[in-house]
Amino acid sequence: MGRTIIVSNRLPVKVAKDENGKLRYKSSEGGLATGLGSVYKDGDNIWVGWPGFHFDNEEEEKEAAAKLKLENMKPVALTEEEIELYYEGFSNETLWPTFHYFNQNALYKKSYWQAYEEVNHKFCKEVVEVANPDDTIWVHDYQLLLLPGLIREKLPSVSIGFFLHIPFPSFEVFRLLPWRRQLLDGVLGSDLIGFHTYDDMRHFLSAVSRICFISNQHGQLNKDGRTVEVDSFPMGIDYEKYANSSASPQTLSREVKFRTSLGAQKLMLSIDRLDYSKGIPARLEIFDLFFQKYPEYLGKVSLMMVVVPSRDNVEQYRGLKEEIDLLVGRINGKYGAVNWTPIHYFYRSFPLSDLSAYYRMADVALVTPMRDGMNLVCKEYVASRLDKQGVLILSEMAGASKELSEAIIVNPNDKHQVRDAIKRALEMTEEEQIRHMEIMQASLKKYNIHHWVKLFMDRLHDVFVKQKEMTTKLLDSTAEKTLIESFRKSDKKLLFLDYDGTLAPFNTDPTQAGPDEELHEIIKGLTKNKKNNVVVISGRDRNTLENWLGQHDIEFVAEHGVWIKHKGKAWETSDKLDNSWKDDIRPIMEIYVNKTPGSFIEEKDYSLVWHFRKVETGLGELRSREIISHLKYLAVNMNLQVLEGSMVVEIKNLEVNKGKAAMKWVQEKANDFILAIGDDATDEDTFKALPDQAFTIKVGDIHSAARFSLMEPKQVRNLLKQLI
């Protein structure tokens, strides 16, 4: 059993020097550190990351490494320049603003990118130094987007998970990054990629489709022959920690102290790191608007605003701090009285007991970020409300809003809406508060940080096992011998053979795609033996198949199963199939034909196909991504499926597939040997549907539900020749 290696920009510890020049180690109490504590502290597991300190010399570095090793941690030593360019630069001035839809704040500097690449390589070196091929590696967040791909190059079989803690922006925003392709290729080195919300996941998949030309099915995609799974895993908090802290004697004594100085007035609370994504200035403007519209609240409610210093080396953050200082001063100056301060503003961090006391006291928590991956503060507020009272006002731009629908959900850009939400919150009855709070607490208790860690780790393990199962064995000489022996011993044989890419190499020119002499000879040879039942199972239309191979004593499945033809019989189809959808889909395909010179529509009996093999290189691929996402969107509610072939996009009835068609033969005809060979996604249905003992062979890819694989049609022909 392998170990687990956690990798993040920061270690869950901060190294610093005391006044005597001695290294000191302070553990982090962050949610991630708590959640992953049970993982990295266990056995030989390890956490790799920057310890938040620039070592003066190698001695110091060694001393820290030895000390941290005892705590299952491995430091990555970064220089001041690296931190400036990779962390403050590319991570916080390029990726952070872009991913939070503040692209006007983003800097695109080559020096930042180079440092980002170099530091990701540095992390890779540290990981590879400790990792074994059977280990599981879990990489965290936007500072290390390239790392999964780099590790994959060095350790191809290792299991890698990646989790992004911030939002993933829509394709239109992500595409602005000059290094978009490299970033996606980096993340795609993972086996499992996790996001906080479904929307982040969907944006990521769309970027992968548009930029890397890789599409997905239900969050699964194929990257260089490996399956990558993408899903949402909303992160929870350490619920017990906040509930317990809320009940602790220290917290209660802090609360008594604060209450005494505040008097009977109501309290609203906001807690954020200093960041433009958190919407702090807008919140202050809303507070001003609130008093303008509802002056009866003057002197009766205050806002306790905690802003935790962060990234103050970055220009934009310094500017933001000044803006906040100014706004707070203006509002307090405008409304304040000798015995009442509208805003209690703190630009520092507090111990947990103080934070818990604030959570306990706040009648309203005002959490209104412009964009937030999840936002843990709102969850901590709910967990701290042992009295089940209090109202949460939550921005719909925070990932948490997808889970906490019992909160008052607001759009932070709609200042009047938030202003009125404050009034509603302050006037909400106790019963209503309790009703909402109870629902939110039950959910957060269940979906806590430990649940999140387990969910992700279990899924990563499942993906790894599934990948192993999906890795087909190359049909080597031993397997080939077994297949041939079994074939010879049997009397009633069923052979399902796909055409394009299996019996014949894929050819973009339809006039050249027909069978050659060698193929005719092979089929003739196979059909001479009456014990063999050869079924050509293809996505091609029935006329083409009949023109090409009609002279042989074989059977057919055309259009992926829409039409079937038994020997000596006419073509038959399932008459239950509905075709009325074509009238809705055809005009949409026509739009793409009109704007993509060289593309055309082929209408099959029960499907529509958009061909782009004659379109200018690049444009065809680009348009195909657009049409695929457009058709997939429509297909969901119309019982249709979208198939991607080579230079084609096909849409057809969901009930039709090669697997169902193949099973008709298996069920209707006695058989004691089954062989199925195919090369594309539609053949997977056949491999999955056939009984376990069938010999199933995937051509050109080792990740398949088939038992074996072959590299190319030439090898398929060689195998078939041996069966003659």
Smallest distance, ligand GDG to C-beta of residue 78, A:
20
- Angle at CA of residue 379, ends 377 and 382, nearest 5°: 110
Q: For residue 53, what is the DSSP state?
A: -
CA distance to 101, 143, 168, 208, per residue, from 172 (Å):
10, 21, 11, 12
Nearer to ligand GDG, 308 or 457 (CB): 308
Handedness of CA 571, 574, 578, 582 (dihedral sign): negative
Smallest distance, ligand GDG to C-beta of residue 634, A:
33
Q: Which of 272, 354, 372, 498 is catalytic?
A: 498
Residues 255-274, interacting with ligand GDG (CB under 6 A): 271, 273
Q: Of 344-352, 384-392, 489-497, 522-530, which segment contacts ligand GDG by CB under 6 A? A: 344-352
Residues 166-185, interacting with ligand GDG (CB under 6 A): 166
Under rule CB under 6 A, residue 235 binds ligand GDG: yes
Smallest distance, ligand GDG to C-beta of residue 122, A:
23
Smallest distance, ligand GDG to C-beta of residue 358, A:
9
CB 615, CB 627: distance < 8 Å: no
Judged by CB under 6 A, the residue of 97, 169, 189, 373 near ligand GDG is 373
Judged by CB under 6 A, the residue of 328, 376, 422, 689 near ligand GDG is 376
Residue 200: phi and psi, rounded to 5, are -60, -45
Nearer to ligand GDG, 374 or 418 (CB): 374
Structure tokens at 287: 């507070």
| Contact string (CB under 6 A) for ligand GDG, positions 283-312, x = contact | -----------------------x-x----
Under rule CB under 6 A, residue 403 binds ligand GDG: no
No. of H helices and E strands in the chain?
A: 26, 30
**What b/e sequence results for 545-556 when a residue is b if at least 16 CB atoms lie within 10 Å of its CB, and e otherwise?**
beebbeebebbb
Nearer to ligand GDG, 239 or 499 (CB): 239
Residues 14-73, interacting with ligand GDG (CB under 6 A): 31
Query: How many other CB atoms are found less than 10 A from the CB of residue 699?
Result: 22
- Whole-angstrom distance, CA of residue 542 vs CA of residue 499: 12
- Whole-angstrom distance, CA of residue 139 vs CA of residue 161: 6
Under rule CB under 6 A, residue 377 binds ligand GDG: yes
Nearer to ligand GDG, 306 or 418 (CB): 306
- Whole-angstrom distance, CA of residue 246 vs CA of residue 679: 60
- Whole-angstrom distance, CA of residue 708 vs CA of residue 701: 10
Q: Of 245-253, 368-376, 500-508, 621-629, which segment contacts ligand GDG by CB under 6 A? A: 368-376
CB 287, CB 280: distance < 8 Å: no
Nearer to ligand GDG, 374 or 437 (CB): 374
Beta-carbon contacts of 451 under 8 Å, excluding residues fewer than 6 positions away, are: 236
Dihedral, CA atoms, 593, 595, 598, 602, nearest 10 degrees?
-10
Structure tokens at 291: 């008093």
Judged by CB under 6 A, the residue of 93, 229, 380, 559 near ligand GDG is 380
Q: Of 244-252, 336-344, 366-374, 550-558, which segment contacts ligand GDG by CB under 6 A? A: 366-374
Q: At what angle do helices 147-154 and 110-130 cross, to 10 degrees?
A: 40
Under rule CB under 6 A, residue 684 binds ligand GDG: no
- Whole-angstrom distance, CA of residue 476 vs CA of residue 275: 59
Judged by CB under 6 A, the residue of 144, 221, 284, 355 near ligand GDG is 355
Does residue 578 carry a catalytic annotation?
no
Under rule CB under 6 A, residue 165 binds ligand GDG: yes
Under rule CB under 6 A, residue 374 binds ligand GDG: yes
Nearer to ligand GDG, 380 or 680 (CB): 380
Nearer to ligand GDG, 64 or 400 (CB): 400
Q: Of 321-329, 373-381, 407-415, 650-658, which segment contacts ligand GDG by CB under 6 A? A: 373-381
Please give the order of strands across the beta sheet that includes 216-217: 73-75, 46-50, 4-10, 136-140, 159-163, 192-195, 226-232, 220-223, 216-217
Nearer to ligand GDG, 230 or 307 (CB): 307
- State the pairing for strand pair 493-497/673-678: parallel
For residue 563, list its beta bridge partners.
558, 573
Under rule CB under 6 A, residue 611 binds ligand GDG: no
Nearer to ligand GDG, 164 or 643 (CB): 164
Catalytic residue annotation: 498
List interacting residues with ligand GDG (CB under 6 A).
31, 165-166, 235, 271, 273, 306, 308, 349-350, 352, 355, 372-377, 380
